[in-house]
């Protein structure tokens, strides 16, 4: 299955912090830290644990540019 | 000035395609292609051109995870 | 592959309108019209055409509630 | 009052989970589960409770497509 | 009808630029320029024209902070 | 450094509520209350405290219009 979201970064999960509703997923991508805020249900559904190889997905309209 | 958005990727602009309202900014980040969809006004305001060193910015809540 | 985005709606593509950068994807989901604005590159990458069976994906943080 | 957001799904609230800042709103839409992550202030402001008839709202730019 | 989105700014439409899919809505809010990128269908549906009194709506999760 | 996000509102932090993952930042902007939901890491990184002069940033694609 292909996804319309344009930005796909192959990363490794480093840390997961779970709140009541949201969870912070810290990932390493080629030496750069990525942070996603997803629901704790997503963490359970994907059975995410540190060390997992994952893809960080970002829709093009959600990416800003700084110069 | 610091930004709350957690994901900052130092990239190089490869290509810019401008429509009437939106523009596609294709960037290279450590060998991975990134695509941002921003307004053409932003392209003018930042005076973006291919070859520019930029930062791609993504808020943590806008990043999904696939596994 | 599983996706953290919580909202997945199995829909049928009804109409595609392409601009220079963005495209409008009109879909039918159980009798309700859905509209996604994605990049034209995504349309080409997914080879989207009217009649396609697709999944409309929405991250939980991107969904508002009205009452 | 009309809203520019293109996707409006008439749903029923099934479950509400509140954290310190965010809340998870689980809804049923024609047999499909929808999940929104909104602030707990929004839950109070809308006086949301299970059983409520609501509209789930998604801006077109926030909807991805999978095929 | 109440909306979960927390940020509602009463503004006046100054300019509308329409592309094939997206439209730029430039608004004045207490002397500050606001810019929304919505679909041209939304512009037609809301019958938006310069001079209109509108509300600019932003979900809390879509607002970043700079300091 | 310039940012592609089009909407920049000079505001004052009034209140900060921190959960395990997310934080609510309540700001005053010319008499209107703004609310951002960012990660608690962002609050620490920006060393945000009530009374701070900040900029609330919103990408044009994340702003809806009501009429």
Q: How confident is the model over B22-64, as pLDDT tens digits?
A: 999 999 999 999 999 999 999 999 999 999 999 999 999 999 9
B35/A60 CB distance under 8 A = yes
* Residues F40 and F18: beta-carbon distance below 8 Å: yes
C2/B66 CB distance under 8 A = yes
- What pLDDT shows up at residue F59? 98
Distance CA C54, CA A1 (A): 9
F4/A62 CB distance under 8 A = no
CATH of the domain at F23: 2.40.50.100
F59/B38 CB distance under 8 A = yes
Q: Per-residue pLDDT averaged across F15-33, rounded?
A: 97
Grade residue E38 by pLDDT with cuts at 50, 70 and 90: very high
- What pLDDT shows up at residue C47? 98
Within a domain: A66? no
Name the residue range of residue B11's domain: 7-58
Report the domain count for chain E: 1
Helix (H) or strand (E) holding F55: strand F53-58
* Residues E37 and B39: beta-carbon distance below 8 Å: yes
Q: What are phi and psi of B61, to 5 degrees?
A: -70, -10
What's the complex ipTM?
Answer: 0.98
The string of pLDDT tens digits covering residues D16-60 is 999 999 999 999 999 999 999 999 999 999 999 999 999 999 999
* Residues D37 and D22: beta-carbon distance below 8 Å: yes
- What pLDDT shows up at residue E33? 97
Mutation site for A-interface testing, chosen from C1, C3, C4 by largest number of A Cβ within 10 Å? C4
Give me the residues of F, 17-36, that contact D with CB < 8 A: 17-20, 22-24, 35
The string of pLDDT tens digits covering residues A6-52 is 999 999 999 999 999 999 999 999 999 999 999 999 999 999 999 99
- Only one residue has tokens 């951002």, namely F36
Dihedral, F63, D34, A43, A25 alpha carbons, nearest 10: 0
- What pLDDT shows up at residue C51? 98
**Residue E2 in contact with partner chain C when CB distance is under 8 A:** yes
User: Average pLDDT of chain E?
Assistant: 98
Q: From chain B, pick out residues whose CB is under 8 angstroms from the CB of C5.
A: 64
Q: From chain F, pick out residues whose CB is under 8 angstroms from the CB of B43.
A: 4
Within a domain: A28? yes
Within a domain: C51? yes
Within a domain: D49? yes
Within a domain: B47? yes
Q: From chain F, pick out residues whose CB is under 8 angstroms from the CB of E61.
A: 37
Q: From chain D, pick out residues whose CB is under 8 angstroms from the CB of F23.
A: 21
Within a domain: C2? no
- B67 by Cβ neighbours in 10 Å (0-12 / 13-18 / 19+) ranks as middle
User: Which member of E1, E6, E38 has the closest CB to residue D4?
Assistant: E38
- Taking one residue from D and the other from E, the number of pairs with CB-CB distance under 8 angstroms is 42
Within a domain: C41? yes
The string of pLDDT tens digits covering residues C3-41 is 999 999 999 999 999 999 999 999 999 999 999 999 999
Neighbours of C59 (CB within 10 A): 32
Distance CA C24, CA E20 (A): 9
């Amino acid at each position: 299955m292909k996804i319309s979201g344009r930005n796909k970064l192959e990363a490794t999960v480093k840390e997961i912090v779970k709140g009541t509703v949201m969870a912070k997923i810290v990932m390493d991508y080629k030496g750069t830290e990525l942070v996603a805020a997803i629901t704790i249900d997503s963490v359970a559904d994907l059975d995410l644990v540190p060390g997992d190889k994952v893809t960080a997905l970002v829709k093009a309209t959600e990416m800003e540019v700084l110069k």
